[in-house]
């Protein structure tokens, strides 16, 4: 049964319902944070490890979305009245709870996504790091700031930051802890309420994180959750939100931008990627192979900042491929909750079929499979082997389209300029990597690559984990940034308040407009000479 089928499916008539992978009591406990009608239609999600039922969830309707926003607006006024440092203390308590209760969160993330536990742990730690960063740094960013007035000492100008109001977050399934919650943390710190629409497949994991936020001190009504497919709930959320944070595909991101633009509300969009990794001739081969393996197959390739294009200098291509393929072929594919797997399952039959279609299309048009290339139903219903292709050409789906699975293509280059040109030959510009012993050259190359984040001698974690710096995409990879000051201030409205003392801006002291203009010209010249900014 797929995630689009409801419990009333005739196949269940007269037969006992199969036991869901996630305990019913756990789901019931967490659903108290969702806004759903008592008589709501229900939907079964699929456990990727087995193809069985993960959970049975009630679906929110438009009235529920309206109720969630009304609740959030009422609660937001009280929440915004609390001090920023008080709100920051909530984030610090949440930081500790995430680490203390990680076992249940990791279990839920694995059961709903099929990912390896090491990938689930990566996003759980990321959640804690983001909470700590904004709790420690956010209050200073949000503090009112004095600016130089039009006339020094005579004009007092102060900038204030007000919350947007109610932020709508539409989150994907691939990182249900990180992408459902870490975008909410700065929004909450800034004094906003948040209505969260997690992907239906990973709703329970998102509710677990919301449950910890409530325990940490987020008041009732500040973070309601609505449940349902994005195609159904997304427009209702966008129509009511004062700001929208969306993570997902570029085509859907364009629709979000269109809808928010019509309403003249802001949005931040982290969209697709076809990310490139460059291996220079001077790179440490073994280290490069290890980095590339993680870059391509973390989260089974279902990672927007993962690597799908490998550009290797022709002088070291054979040596690199031998080391890289050795590592890829040693990856352990092991279904089930717990440690021990290097790569998990794809999330669904739809995702598996899309990945297989890219592989088969490439092979049919002449590409060579260096390793992998097959679905593995003997391991689990949605598993696909980690796959490395060579000879991929522009007419193949795997060349330009985002595969979003465990597939990478290998190319060679001769010069740094050629490598940069190849890396930039994409509509996307999300993430990239340069591997080299010459870090000075690596930095220079990084600046020429059209991507929002570029890592030198790492894959994606160095930039992503630097939460004080912004993260986001260029070109068709999105608008706006998460992390850093941009990731916080986007959830605020800036207000400038100026107080003019003694002398006004109009003509003074009985002078004519012409005389006053001449006086101001002298003053402005003097200010430049005095070094006034």
Q: How far is CA 430 from CA 120, 178, 304, 402, 411, in A?
A: 22, 17, 8, 12, 20
Sheet holding 275-279, edge to edge: 368-371, 387-390, 407-413, 307-313, 275-279, 431-435, 453-456
Residue of 228, 194, 224, 198 whose CA lies nearest to 211: 224
Q: Is 267 a catalytic residue?
A: no
Helix (H) or strand (E) holding 161: strand 155-163
Buried b (16+ CB within 10 A) or exposed e, 141-167: bbeeeeeebebeeebeeeeebebbbbb
The DSSP line for 308-370 is EEEEEETTTHHHHHHHHHHHHHT--B--SSSS--SB---S-HHHHHHHHHHHHHHHHTT-EEE
Query: Could you tell me which residues come within 8 angstroms of residue 332 by beta carbon, excluding any fewer than 6 positions away?
Result: 340, 341, 342, 343
Question: How far apart are alpha carbons 287 and 293 in whole angstroms?
Answer: 10
Report whether 230 contacts 199 (CB < 8 A): yes
Helices 230-240, 62-81: crossing angle, 10 deg rounding: 40
Around Cβ 32, how many Cβ atoms within 10 Å? 12
Query: Could you tell me which residues come within 8 angstroms of residue 38 by beta carbon, excluding any fewer than 6 positions away?
Result: none
Helices 84-100, 117-142: crossing angle, 10 deg rounding: 170
Radius of gyration of the chain (CA): 26
Residue of 402, 467, 425 whose CA lies nearest to 134: 467
Report whether 468 contacts 137 (CB < 8 A): yes
Beta bridge partners of 45: 55
Give SS3 for 269. Answer: strand
Report whether 385 contacts 376 (CB < 8 A): yes
Beta bridge partners of 194: 167
Report whether 244 contacts 265 (CB < 8 A): yes
Q: Which of 127, 267, 296, 304 is catalytic?
A: 304
Q: Which residue in this structure is represented by tokens 């999105």?
A: 478
Q: Which residue in this structure is represented by tokens 């794809």?
A: 346
Q: Which of 44, 122, 123, 270 is catalytic?
A: 270
Residue of 423, 147, 476, 450 whose CA lies nearest to 304: 476
Report whether 300 contacts 346 (CB < 8 A): yes
Q: Is 290 a catalytic residue?
A: no
Query: Could you list the active site residues?
Result: 270, 304
């Amino acid at each position: 049964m797929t995630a689009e089928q409801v419990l009333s499916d005739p196949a269940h008539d007269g037969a006992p319902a199969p036991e869901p992978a996630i305990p019913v009591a756990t789901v019931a406990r967490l659903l108290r944070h969702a806004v759903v009608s008592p008589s709501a239609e229900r939907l079964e999600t699929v456990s990727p490890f087995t193809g069985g039922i993960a959970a049975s969830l009630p679906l929110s309707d438009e009235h529920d979305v309206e109720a969630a926003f009304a609740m959030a607006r009422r609660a937001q006024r009280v929440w915004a009245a609390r001090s920023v440092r008080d709100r920051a203390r909530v984030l610090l308590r949440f930081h500790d709870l995430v680490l203390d209760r990680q076992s249940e969160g990791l279990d839920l993330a694995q059961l709903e996504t099929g990912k390896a536990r090491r990938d689930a742990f990566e996003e759980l730690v990321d959640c804690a790091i983001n909470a700590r960063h904004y709790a420690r740094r956010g209050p200073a960013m949000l503090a009112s700031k004095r600016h130089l007035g039009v006339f020094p000492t005579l004009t007092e100008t102060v900038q204030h930051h007000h919350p947007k109001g109610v932020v709508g977050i539409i989150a994907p399934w691939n990182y249900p802890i990180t992408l459902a919650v870490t975008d909410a943390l700065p929004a909450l710190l800034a004094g906003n309420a948040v209505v969260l629409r997690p992907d239906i497949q990973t709703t329970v994991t998102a509710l677990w994180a919301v449950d910890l936020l409530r325990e940490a001190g987020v008041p009732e009504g500040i973070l309601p959750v609505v449940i349902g497919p994005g195609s159904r709930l997304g427009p209702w959320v966008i129509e009511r939100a004062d700001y929208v944070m969306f993570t997902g595909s570029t085509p859907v991101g364009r629709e979000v931008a269109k809808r928010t633009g019509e309403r003249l509300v802001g949005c931040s969009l982290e969209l697709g990627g076809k990310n490139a990794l460059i291996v220079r001739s001077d790179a440490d081969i073994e280290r490069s192979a290890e980095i590339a393996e993680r870059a391509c197959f973390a989260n089974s390739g279902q990672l927007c900042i993962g690597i799908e294009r490998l550009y290797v200098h022709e002088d070291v291509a054979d040596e690199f491929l031998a080391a890289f393929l050795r590592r890829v072929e040693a990856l352990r594919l092991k279904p089930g909750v717990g440690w021990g797997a290097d790569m998990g399952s794809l999330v669904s039959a739809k995702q598996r079929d899309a990945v297989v279609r890219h592989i088969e299309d490439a092979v049919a048009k002449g590409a060579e499979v260096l390793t992998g290339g097959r679905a593995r139903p003997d391991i689990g219903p949605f598993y696909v082997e980690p796959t490395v292709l060579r000879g991929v050409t522009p007419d193949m789906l795997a060349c330009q389209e985002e595969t979003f699975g465990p597939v990478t293509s290998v190319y060679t280059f001769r010069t740094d300029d050629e490598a940069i040109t190849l890396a930039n030959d994409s509509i996307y510009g999300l993430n990239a990597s340069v591997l080299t012993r010459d870090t000075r050259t690596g930095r220079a190359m990084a600046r020429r690559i059209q991507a929002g984040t570029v890592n030198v001698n790492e894959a994606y974690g160095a930039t992503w984990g630097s939460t004080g710096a912004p993260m986001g995409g260029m070109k068709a990879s999105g608008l706006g940034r998460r992390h850093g000051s941009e990731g916080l201030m986007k959830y605020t409205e800036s207000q400038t308040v100026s107080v003019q003392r003694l002398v006004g801006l109009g003509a003074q002291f009985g002078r004519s407009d012409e005389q006053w203009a001449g006086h101001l010209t002298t003053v402005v010249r003097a200010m430049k000479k005095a070094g006034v900014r």
